[in-house]
A = this chain, B = another copy of it.
């Protein structure tokens, strides 16, 4: 018996999760919702994925274009065991009543507040907490990225201070700017630190800046250590941490551009870099402080988390069985 999965919102995250679900032998992709018949909708249909209108109000758009939908979200909800809500931030909370009414489990994304769900989730950090749950929130790309490396170092951490240099827009977004500016979040510390604490109990503060690039977020991480660790230890730990990869500037990884090129060279779908990329040369211990620099592919790092969340919610596999299964299906390197 495969778990029947629906995707509400077939955009940047939704379409990647749909693809990932379709790669699992224990899941079945039942359908996706769209608000309008754009090229993403047409491509989904060409691939045999049933396309539903995200709500009745959007039906006229599809009718006008002569695009026949399989129904609306309500219809989709009748046919699934779990819905992955990949709608824009804040809408998930509004949609929750629909999911409850339909009696389906639901996964929310990091644009929602923690309160929307029973657990905020990063598979390698707290898979067990999501076992059997009805509502799980996969945290944001940035929180996922921080949690992956910080949870691996958790026992050494007294305090974390991370500065996040964020991409302004996704590659397929030609509306948002800035074209030429740096925009700080002047509320200091930023909300990202507390969000990590919804997953793992560490002492962390963050600051955030938006810059005119589309490829990846970059984190400058500084950790005050509770107990000594060497640079070599950290390298060793990261080499043994799933969904974290070390990259060397010496091999040509000078910027986020070459990290994405690596994903393109691997022929990853949508150049997904599911793994958090840590620059090996940047790992540095000075006194009781550890520094490193990591990059996060905002379009894809949460995708395997959604898959694992489904397995946890239906108790289909234990933690490492699920992670290994997901990794293998998506070509995640380790």
Contact = CB atoms under 8 A, between A and B. Distances in A.
Interface of A: 15, 36-40, 42-43, 161, 163, 165, 167-169, 171-184, 186-189, 205, 207, 209-216, 218, 220, 222, 249, 251-258, 260-262, 264-267, 269-271, 279, 281-284, 286, 289, 291-293, 295
Contacts of A266: 43
A220 B163 CA distance: 7
9 contacts: A39-B253, A163-B220, A165-B211, A174-B178, A176-B179, A178-B255, A180-B180, A184-B255, A271-B271
A273 to B, nearest CB: 13
Contacts of A265: 15, 39-40, 43, 270
A146 to B, nearest CB: 15
Nearest to A295: B182
A50 to B, nearest CB: 17
A179 B169 contact: yes
Is the contact region of chain A dominated by helix, strand, or loop, or is it mixed?
Answer: mixed
A282 B184 contact: yes
Interface centre among A36, A43, A214 (most CB of B within 10 A): A214
A292 B270 CA distance: 29
Given A174-B183, A181-B213, 19 more contacts: A36-B252, A38-B252, A39-B265, A161-B222, A165-B182, A165-B209, A169-B177, A169-B180, A171-B264, A174-B177, A174-B257, A175-B176, A178-B213, A179-B212, A180-B180, A180-B214, A182-B216, A184-B255, A184-B282
A178 B261 CA distance: 15
A113 to B, nearest CB: 22
A205 B292 CA distance: 13
A82 to B, nearest CB: 24
A15 to B, nearest CB: 7
A249 B183 CA distance: 10
B292 A188 contact: yes
